Amino acid sequence: MRLHEYQAKEVFAEAGIPVPDAELARTVEEAVAAAEEIGYPVAIKAQVHVGGRGKAGGIELVENETEAREAADRILGMDLKGFHVDRVLVEDAVNFVNEVYVGVTMDRGVGRPVAMVSSRGGVNIEEVAEEDPDAIAREHIDPAFGMHDFQARKAVYDAGLDRDVAGDVASILTTLYDLWEERDGADAEINPLMVTADDEVIAADAVFNIDGDALFRQPDLAELEDEAAEDDLEAKANEYGFDYVRLDGNVGIIGNGAGLVMTTLDLVDYYGGAPANFLDIGGGAKAERVANALDMVFSDENVDAVVFNIFGGITRGDEVANGINSALEQFDDIPKPVIVRLAGTKAEEGMEILNTDLVQVEATLEDAVQAAVAAAEEVDS
C-alpha cells in the first residue's frame, strides 16, 4: 500500500523528522490560501503515485499569488502519466545547499532490511544505483536486533556526507528505520533530504509504502488506503478481495493461483493476444466469488473475451461451474464470450454442469487460451 507524499510526511513528522510547512489543497482557492498562509516561495506538488513528477510537470515553484493561481489551476485536474490529479500539496520552498538520499527497504535477496544513504539526493536513486552503485552506502540490518546506532553513522560516513550534518542525518535515518519497522513499512524514503546553509536537514519529499499483509496491525494506516486508491476497478477488486491488476489488452483473464493466472496471461501473449488483466480468485472460491470475478472483468470496457482457467486443488470444479452458470444466467445477452477450462478437483463434474449455451468449454489450457484470443480478435474486428 502506497501513501501519498502528504500522508507520508504526516507520519514522518509525527515521528520527529523535520518536514517543511505544508497544506493539502483540493481547489485552486484552497491552494492559493495555503500559499498565502505559508508565505512565498512555495512548491505546488501533484499528489499522485507517479515517479518523476517534477519532470512531468506535476511540481511547480511559485513566487506570488498570480503564479500560485496559475500553477494550481494547471496542475489540479491534469493527467499525470495516466493518473488524475485531484489534490496538491502546497509547501514551503526550502532554501538548500545540498540534497541527500536516505531510505529503508527489505532486501529480499538476503531476507533482511537494508538502510541506504547517498550524497546524490534529489535525483532518481534507481539511476544512481545503476550508474554508480558505490554512490549509495548500504547497511544491512539484522532484523533480530533492529538498526544499531553505529550502522546509521556508518552508512552516513560511508556515503561521504559532511561531518557537520552527519549526526543529524544519522539520527533521521535511525528514526526512519524505527518507523519503517514499527509501522510495517515496505519502502521508506526521503529524497531529497535537503541540507540548508546552516546545516539544518529537512525532508523535502517522502515515500512510505506499507506492507499490505501487515495492515491488520496498522489500523490507522489502513484507513488511509481508500484515500490513496486511484483506479475504480482496482478499488472494486479491493472490495471483493481479489488480487487484480489492470493491463492494456482485450482478453480478460480469471484463474485461481497467482502462478497459473500469470501463466495464462503469458499464454494469451504467446498465442498472439493481449491480456486485459490479472485476476486471481484464490483458493476454494465459491459461486458468489466466481460471479464477482465475472462482474469485475465484464466491467472493464477494454475486455472483448474472457478466459476462465481453473485448476482445482481446494477449488472445486463443480462449484466454479455452478458459479459461472448462475452468474451468466442473469444476462439476456452474455456481455462478452466466456471460454472455460476446468481441471483438477471435480473438473469432470464441472464440465458436465457448465451450460454450453452460455460458455465455450475447452479441455486444455492451451486450447482455452487460443479460443479466447480468437474470440477477442473477432469481437475487436
Chain centre to alpha carbon of residue 309: 26
Does 252 contact another protein by CB under 8 A? no
State which of residues 67, 269, 349, 377 lies at the interface with another protein (CB under 8 A). Answer: 269
Residues with a known catalytic role: 101, 189
Q: How many CB atoms lie within 10 A of CB 12?
A: 23
Q: Distance between CA 229 and CA 225 in Å, rounded?
A: 6
Does 266 contact another protein by CB under 8 A? yes
Number of residues interacting with another protein: please give it, by CB under 8 A.
Answer: 66
Nearer to another protein, 9 or 316 (CB): 316
Count the alpha carbons within 13 Å of 43 in the hemisphere toward its beta carbon. 20
Nearer to another protein, 121 or 275 (CB): 275
**343 touches which of another protein, a second copy, none (CB within 5 to 8 A by kind)?**
another protein
**55 touches which of another protein, a second copy, none (CB within 5 to 8 A by kind)?**
none
Q: How far is the CB of 182 from a second copy (least distance, A)?
A: 14
State which of residues 260, 334, 353, 358 lies at the interface with another protein (CB under 8 A). Answer: 260
Does 142 contact another protein by CB under 8 A? yes
Does 365 contact another protein by CB under 8 A? yes
**109 touches which of a second copy, another protein, none (CB within 5 to 8 A by kind)?**
another protein
Name residues contacting a second copy, limited to 135-154 (CB under 8 A): 142, 144-145
Are 256 and 263 a contacting pair, CB within 8 Å?
no
Are 188 and 172 a contacting pair, CB within 8 Å?
no
Count Cβ neighbours within 10 Å for each residue of 358-369 and write b for 16 or more, e otherwise.
Answer: bbbbbeebeebb
3-state secondary structure of 305: strand
Helices (H), the chain: 5-14, 28-38, 65-75, 125-131, 149-158, 163-182, 219-228, 232-240, 258-270, 287-299, 317-329, 347-353, 365-380
Q: Distance between CA 377 and CA 381 in Å, rounded?
A: 6
Going by their DSSP bridges, the two strands 243-246 and 277-280 should be labelled as antiparallel
**91 touches which of a second copy, another protein, none (CB within 5 to 8 A by kind)?**
none
Q: Distance between CA 133 and CA 138 in Å, rounded?
A: 10
Name residues contacting another protein, limited to 102-141 (CB under 8 A): 106, 108-109, 111-113, 126, 129-130
Name residues contacting another protein, limited to 56-75 (CB under 8 A): none
Does 256 contact another protein by CB under 8 A? yes
Q: How far is the CB of 84 from another protein (least distance, A)?
A: 18
Q: How far is the CB of 45 from another protein (least distance, A)?
A: 20
Helices 219-228, 5-14: crossing angle, 10 deg rounding = 160
Q: How far is the CB of 174 from a second copy (least distance, A)?
A: 16
State which of residues 55, 79, 82, 145 lies at the interface with another protein (CB under 8 A). Answer: 145
Q: How far is the CB of 142 from a second copy (least distance, A)?
A: 8
3-state secondary structure of 248: coil
Sequence-separated (6 or more) residues with CB below 8 Å from residue 202: 18, 19, 20, 94, 96, 193, 194, 196
Q: How far is the CB of 103 from another protein (least distance, A)?
A: 13
Q: Distance between CA 251 and CA 277 in Å, rounded?
A: 8
Q: How many CB atoms lie within 10 A of CB 77?
A: 11
Does 261 contact another protein by CB under 8 A? yes
**Where on the chain is the footprint of another protein (CB under 8 A)?**
51, 106, 108-109, 111-113, 126, 129-130, 142-145, 148-151, 153-154, 157-158, 163, 166-167, 181, 184, 186, 211-214, 216-217, 243, 245, 247, 255-263, 265-270, 275, 278, 280, 283, 311-314, 343-345, 364-366
**Where on the chain is the footprint of a second copy (CB under 8 A)?**
142, 144-145
